[in-house]
Amino acid sequence: MHLYPSKPQVTEMLQCARQCSRRNGTYLTFGEFCLFAREMQNGKLRKTSQKPKRCSSKCEVFLGGSCNPTTWRTDTAIPELQKHGITYYNPQVSMWAPELVAEEHDAKQSASVLLYVIDSQTRSVGGMIEVALKNTMRNSQHRFCFATGRCVVLVAYPYKCGQTIMGEFITKQECVDLVDGQTTLLALVKSRGIKVHGNLGSAIQTTADFLKSSSLNNGMTAEELITYKLRKLRQAFDLHDTKGTDRW
Q: Using one digit for the tens of pLDDT, what is the confidence trace for 4-42? A: 677 776 676 666 666 666 556 666 777 777 767 766 665
Per-chain mean pLDDT for the chain? 76
* Structural domains of the chain in order of their starting residue, each with its CATH number: 7-51+220-240 (no CATH), 61-215 (3.40.50)
Please state, in angstroms and rounded to a whole number, the distance separating the CA atoms of residues 44 and 64.
Answer: 28
In the 8-state DSSP scheme, what is residue 141?
T
**Per-residue pLDDT band at 135 (split at 50, 70, 90):** low
For 7-19, b where at least 16 C-beta lie within 10 A, e where not — what string? eeeeebbbebbbe
pLDDT digits (tens, 9 = 90+) for 114-133: 999 999 999 988 888 888 77
* Angle (nearest 5°) at CA 135 between 133 and 136: 65
Please state, in angstroms and rounded to a whole number, the distance separating the CA atoms of residues 99 and 62.
Answer: 17
Query: Within 13 A of 209's CA, how many CA atoms are on the CB side?
Result: 7
Percent of the chain predicted with pLDDT > 70: 60
Residue 172 near residue 214 (C-beta atoms within 8 A): no
Please state, in angstroms and rounded to a whole number, the distance separating the CA atoms of residues 11 and 211.
Answer: 32
Average pLDDT over residues 204-222: 75
Alpha helices in the chain (DSSP H): 7-19, 30-48, 72, 78-83, 100-110, 125-136, 172-191, 200-218, 222-240
Rg value, the chain, Cα: 22
pLDDT at 151: 83
Q: How far apart are the first and last CA of the chain?
A: 27
Least confident of 57-61, 101-105, 117-121, 133-137: 133-137
pLDDT digits (tens, 9 = 90+) for 147-171: 344 688 999 999 998 999 988 999 9
Q: Which residues pair with 118 in a beta bridge?
A: 156
**Per-residue pLDDT band at 196 (split at 50, 70, 90):** very high
Checking if the pLDDT of 190 tops 80, the result is yes
**Residue 69, preceding bond cis, omega within 30 degrees?**
yes
Please state, in angstroms and rounded to a whole number, the distance separating the CA atoms of residues 41 and 47.
Answer: 10
pTM: 0.61
Checking if the pLDDT of 195 tops 60, the result is yes
161: alpha, beta or left? (left if phi > 0; alpha if psi -120 to 50): beta
